[in-house]
Structure 1
């Protein structure tokens, strides 16, 4: 966490209140290794702001970190406050942040791995947060952060998806997938998505032109000459997807992509595995699309922060439709 420092602040916090309730990973071991405990409240420096968090989401990467299955986070990084995205109100500002926000302003943020979002008070950098438009709830905004940025950067930055193209999205009902479907339609693309039988109508309601029941049908029989495959499933699904790409098409994945020899000599591209990076400009566009009703976050379930372990178990054991969010009110 950010270490305490002098700050220029409009804060009305009591001096005695120097700790925050946080979700902390003390050692690898999944949800059972998590604890909800009090940690020091960080202080914002320079262009940072201190956010009083109202909601923070749980993402698949969180339970992978908790299990010790995410290499960028090792034993030396523990104990660690968990989480990457949040929404709340500005509590205090650094010396160079007064021109951006004021005490009480509503904000949403997607923060770096060096801090954790699942805490009552979190420092966000200028490159990580944006103002939260009226009409967008804290819960929806918290659910958007990492998932929406993963979808945006996968489709547009890495995939180069543009209007008039066709994209195949694997896992169209999940946290990232359901936002990817909406963003691709907003961009003007034709969207083919895979989902389970119980989610077919849901994914159609998001705007997908064609939805394939991945258990009952082969997506190869439906999709062809695809410009971009956005693979959120991995494994055999990614390898099979290379066959539906057009010449020069690209497969983008948040998971381990297929090896080059899986292309079998075809002129298709495989993007390197990526992780979403904080980008305030892109997050601001997401916020505007949410305010306009163009992009809607589906929240599968909310949990109070004291039940964080249950939220992690829910994320790990099932395939939630949309996002799981922790609330701190």
Structure 2
């Protein structure tokens, strides 16, 4: 089978197509013929080597983690799926990739494809959906009547998270460029800050939750918009000691991550709020719940651009420019 792989970490990762043998299934796994896969910012971050101490790949490794496709074979202990079933999944942190003609998916990570969406639409969902779900519902316990700040509202995570937060009954604040103000408003954002004209920290107040989606000092600045007792859940860092402990990392990495997050922890404590870093985990049961929201049209996929499989490398380069409105998808 053909797969998009990288050879090494760094500025010249050697991205290209490689012919690989069909993977061997374990008893609890599915072999899925991939019809579409989407790319996420973390894919480019992996290439840089920033997560090398945390994520373990055997190089050359197949890129991508989001996929939608059709089951072609199942392991002996699989009970929920059979060949011919249409599924979608995220296989992040499994050491394997999704931008390939076939992918191996543990049964516990797969969910049935929503019937009202095509493969390209469905492939755009898994990682952003799981990230928003785990950040807002699990980590932040977002409730009806809460106020949540979701910066970069026109991005991949932002477009999904705004819709999920509104479904949960929250008031949503966001930032975006001038040209996307109306777009994020249609998604459901209530307080919209044009970052080209205003600084969000000088406009927004009284928030219960911040979803950290923008690199730089935006997470630190967001401390000032929270109520006492508020929560910051960051997807972009800094990594913290709790994250290191949860992943069973060694003492040295735990100490280093603690140092990395020392400033934001100090600012959060001073304000009476909490900070944590989130690495979303694959979860088929949560994807099934997300599928029900998609089928009921409570949340709709937002896709910026679709690339053919032979231009998969271009999809990563396009995403790296940072201007995508919604998700970037690869059609097989």
Work out whether the TM-score is over 0.5. Answer: yes
Contact 1:50 1:91 (C-alpha < 8 Å) held by counterparts? yes
> Aligned residue for 2:120?
139
- Distance (Å, rounded) in 2 between the aligned partners of 1:27 and 1:190: 44
- Distance (Å, rounded) in 2 between the aligned partners of 1:236 and 1:248: 21
- Distance (Å, rounded) in 2 between the aligned partners of 1:237 and 1:212: 14
1:223-302 to structure 2, matched below 5 A, reads: 223-257=204-238, 259-263=264-268, 265-271=270-276, 273-302=277-306
1:313 aligns with 2:294: no
Give the superposition deviation at 1:30. Answer: 5.2
The worse-fitting range, judged by mean Cα deviation, of 216-225 and 311-320 is 216-225
SS across alignment from 2:306: strand
> Aligned residue for 1:41?
22
Contact 1:51 1:92 (C-alpha < 8 Å) held by counterparts? yes
- Distance (Å, rounded) in 1 between the aligned partners of 2:57 and 2:81: 35
Contact 1:162 1:189 (C-alpha < 8 Å) held by counterparts? yes
From 87, 90, 102, the counterpart of 2:82: 102
- Distance (Å, rounded) in 1 between the aligned partners of 2:296 and 2:200: 32
- Distance (Å, rounded) in 2 between the aligned partners of 1:136 and 1:229: 30
Contact 2:37 2:67 (C-alpha < 8 Å) held by counterparts? yes
Q: Which 5+ residue runs of structure 1 have no aligned equivalent?
A: 1-19
Aligned CA distance change for structure 1 residues 300 and 30 (closer, same or farther; 3 Å): farther
Contact 1:55 1:327 (C-alpha < 8 Å) held by counterparts? yes
- Distance (Å, rounded) in 2 between the aligned partners of 1:85 and 1:150: 12
> Aligned residue for 1:128?
109
Give the superposition deviation at 1:312. Answer: 0.9
- Distance (Å, rounded) in 1 between the aligned partners of 2:201 and 2:140: 20
Q: Which 5+ residue runs of structure 2 have no aligned equivalent?
A: 239-262
From 181, 186, 204, the counterpart of 1:205: 186
User: TM-score, normalised to structure 2's length?
Assistant: 0.88
1:154-173 to structure 2, matched below 5 A, reads: 154-173=135-154
User: TM-score, normalised to structure 1's length?
Assistant: 0.89
The worse-fitting range, judged by mean Cα deviation, of 79-88 and 59-68 is 59-68
SS across alignment from 2:329: strand
1:191 aligns with 2:201: no
> Aligned residue for 2:253?
none
- 1:105-158 residue CA offsets vs partner (Å, 9 max, x unmatched): 110001132211111111111221001121111111111011111111111111
Contact 1:171 1:233 (C-alpha < 8 Å) held by counterparts? yes
Contact 2:57 2:96 (C-alpha < 8 Å) held by counterparts? no
From 143, 151, 156, the counterpart of 2:132: 151
Give the superposition deviation at 1:96. Answer: 1.2
- 1:263-315 residue CA offsets vs partner (Å, 9 max, x unmatched): 372211112x1211011111111111111111111111111121111111101
- 1:153-212 residue CA offsets vs partner (Å, 9 max, x unmatched): 111111111111010111111011110000000101011111111111111111111211
SS across alignment from 2:311: helix
- 1:56-114 residue CA offsets vs partner (Å, 9 max, x unmatched): 011101111122232346796311101111000010011011x3112111100011322
Contact 2:114 2:122 (C-alpha < 8 Å) held by counterparts? no
- Distance (Å, rounded) in 2 between the aligned partners of 1:124 and 1:279: 11
